[in-house]
Amino acid sequence: MIKLIVTDMDGTLLNSKKELSPKFEDIYKQLRTKGIHFAVASGRPHYSLQPQFTHFEHDIIFIGDNGAYIGIKPEPIITGNFTTKEFENIMDACRNTSNVHAVVCTPEKPYTESTDTFFLKEAKKYYPSIEVVNDVMQIEQKVIKVAIYDSLTLQKNSGNVWSSFSPKHVVAQSSNVWVDMMPQGVNKGAAVKYIQQKLGVSKEQTMAFGDFHNDIEMLQMAAYSYAMENAHDDVKKVAQFIAPDNDKDGVLTVIEKMLSTH
C-alpha cells in the first residue's frame, strides 16, 4: 500500500510549458482522502515551487534545492550549508570559467553577480525572485546551494570543472546547461529518507517520479520508482518502471491507476 508519493517538478509533474495539469487538484484530493502523503522535490528553491499550488488547500511537502530544504511540519529543515571557504572556492571557479553564471541559493532568496540579459531571463524561469548584487560573498544568509548555468552546455565547456568538486560536494546535473552544487550528503534521496523516517513510511510504501540525474537518489529510495518516458537514459536504467512523458500527464496517469486499485 502506497503511503508516500514524491515527484520531481520540471520535466516530470509539469508539462513542457511548466504548467500543472488541471487534473492535479482532484487527484490530490483523492490522495488526501486516502491518507497518502504527497511531496514535490526539485532543484528549484521551495519559494519558487509553492505559487503553483496556492489556488487550493493542501499540505504538500516541498523539498527544495535538491534536498537542502525540507518543508515539513512543524518546522522546515535545512539539511546542510556551505562553509565560507567552500563557498569561496566554488565562486572562484565560477568567476574564472568563461560563459558560466552562478545563482547563489539561501533559504530566503537567490542571488547572482551576473548582469547578462539572456542568463537572467533563463534564471528567472526557476528563480523568479533572483537579486543581482555586486559581491555574493557579502551575503549574510546560509548558502545551501549554488546553481551554475553554462551557456555553451556543460558537455562542451565547464563540466569537468564541476566534476572536480564531487569528492567534497554533491554535484548534480539537472539539465544540459544547469548543474547544482550542494554540501556533502545533500540530495533528494536523503531528503526522502528523512521524510520516510519522520512519517513512519517504508521504501516499499513509497512511489517516486523523476527525469534527470538529480532524481536518481530519490528514485532509489522508492520501491515504486518511475522514470518519465522523456527521462535521460541513465535515469531509466535506475527506475523500476517507465511513466508516460510529462506532456501526457505521465505522473497523474500512474497515480490514477494506483488509486483505482488502492
Quote the crossing angle between the two packed helices 250-261 and 24-33, to the nearest 10°: 30
Judge if 37 and 159 occupy the same domain. no
Instruction: Report the pLDDT value the prediction gives residue 36, as an integer from 0 to 100.
Output: 98
From 183, 215, 250, the end of a domain falls on 183
Instruction: Report the pLDDT value the prediction gives residue 109, as an integer from 0 to 100.
Output: 95
Domain region containing 165: 84-183
CB of 112 within 8 A of CB of 123? Answer: yes
Instruction: Report the pLDDT value the prediction gives residue 51, as an integer from 0 to 100.
Output: 93
From 122, 149, 183, the end of a domain falls on 183
Number of Cα atoms under 13 Å in the Cβ half of residue 141 = 13
Give 54's DSSP letter.
Answer: T
From 131, 164, 183, the end of a domain falls on 183
Judge if 118 and 53 occupy the same domain. no
- Distance, C-alpha 108 to centroid of its chain: 16
CA distance 169 to 166: 5
Number of domains in the chain: 2
Classified as helix, coil or strand, 189 is helix
Judge if 73 and 196 occupy the same domain. yes
Judge if 171 and 100 occupy the same domain. yes
HEC string of 203-228 equals HHHEEEEECCHHHHHHHCCCCEEEEE
CATH, residue 213: 3.40.50.1000
CATH, residue 145: 3.30.1240.10
With a CB cutoff of 8 Å and minimum separation 6, the contacts of 63 are: 6, 39, 40, 41, 42, 46, 69, 70, 71, 188, 191, 192, 195
Judge if 59 and 92 occupy the same domain. no
Dig out the grid coordinates for 209 from the structure.
517520479
CB of 66 within 8 A of CB of 182? Answer: yes
Where would I find the H helices in 70-166? 84-95, 117-126, 159-163
Judge if 174 and 192 occupy the same domain. no
Which residues, in sequence order, are bridge partners of residue 179?
148, 173
Instruction: Report the pLDDT value the prediction gives residue 234, as an integer from 0 to 100.
Output: 97
Judge if 74 and 95 occupy the same domain. no
pTM for this model (two decimals): 0.89
CB of 222 within 8 A of CB of 201? Answer: no
Point out the residues of the chain with pLDDT beneath 50.
none
Judge if 96 and 176 occupy the same domain. yes
Instruction: Report the pLDDT value the prediction gives residue 73, as an integer from 0 to 100.
Output: 84
Judge if 100 and 142 occupy the same domain. yes
Judge if 34 and 161 occupy the same domain. no
Sign of the dihedral through C-alpha 209, 38, 251, 172? negative
